[in-house]
Amino acid sequence: MAQNFTAEEAEKDRINAMGQKLGRFYSLLVNECTLLHLQWAEFSELFGTNPERIRILNQSAPGFFRMVQDRLWEVSLLHIARLTDTSATFGKVGKENVTLLALPQVVDSAIRSEIEALVEVAERECRFAKDWRNRRIAHRDLKLALGGSAAPLAAASRASVKKALRAIANVLNAVESHYMSAEVAYEWTLSNRGAKVLLHVLRDGIEARDARHQRLRSGEPLPEDIKPKRPL
């Protein structure tokens, strides 16, 4: 039977199993990975599930949801790039990063080579996100923006994001398996009051709006159809 733990309880268990340094650092990575999967799940619920959902968004606030789509896409790529950044900015002590690349140096020697191999795979699967981060999101490459001689951006798609997320989760679950004899199903990270709830509200609102317009066109409005709307 599945158990629910608070973030503090989960971190305490990891510290007990891994020691203070690795337990705290690994908990940070788990939290980052969970948030990344949650953001991607919301993006997929809205924009990557079926055409009916896109129709609902386009019939409600198309300009706004295009901005939401672009920002969720960008923040997901930024998050992927961040998790596979170098272990220290400019290699400086005191500028260490929360990144998978730091894990091999702090895990048991018994699994170090396995973690190194999995981190290498994750770093490779995430390179496309770093290119987008470096030349499109965090910075705007001038030659690329002008359509000049710059190399095109690395190919990026929902499929490539899914591969990157799987590679990141594989690293963490190798650590989880060794120390905790368990794995985390990151791919099932969902919000019970997120995008899907919004879609239902939007669909109900669109249907109510269409019904109101039909009554007005037919000359048989209800009292609530013609009374002023409350300001928001």
Tell me the pTM. Answer: 0.90
Q: What's the pLDDT at 149?
A: 77
Task: State pLDDT tens for residues 76-95.
Answer: 999 999 999 998 776 666 67
Question: What percent of the chain lies above the pLDDT cut of 90?
Answer: 83
Q: What's the pLDDT at 94?
A: 66
Task: State pLDDT tens for residues 7-46.
Answer: 889 999 999 999 999 999 999 999 999 999 999 999 999 9
pLDDT band of residue 102 (cuts 50, 70, 90) is very high
Which range has the worst mean pLDDT, 56-70, 88-102, 121-135?
88-102
Contacts of 140 (CB under 8 A, 6+ apart): none
Handedness of CA 154, 57, 79, 143 (dihedral sign): positive
Task: State pLDDT tens for residues 185-222.
Answer: 999 888 888 999 999 999 999 999 999 999 999 999 99
Q: What is the mean pLDDT of the chain?
A: 93
pLDDT band of residue 1 (cuts 50, 70, 90) is very low
Domain ranges of the chain: 7-190, 192-225
Q: How far is CA 219 from CA 207, 211, 213, 225, in A?
A: 19, 12, 10, 11
| Residue 127, pLDDT above cutoff 70 | yes
Residue among 150, 149, 183, 191 at smallest CA distance from 43: 191
pLDDT band of residue 108 (cuts 50, 70, 90) is very high
Q: Classify residue 99 by burial, with Cβ atoms within 10 Å: 0-12, 13-18, 19+.
A: buried
In degrees, rounded to 5, the angle at the alpha carbon of residue 209 between the alpha carbons of residues 205 and 211 is 120
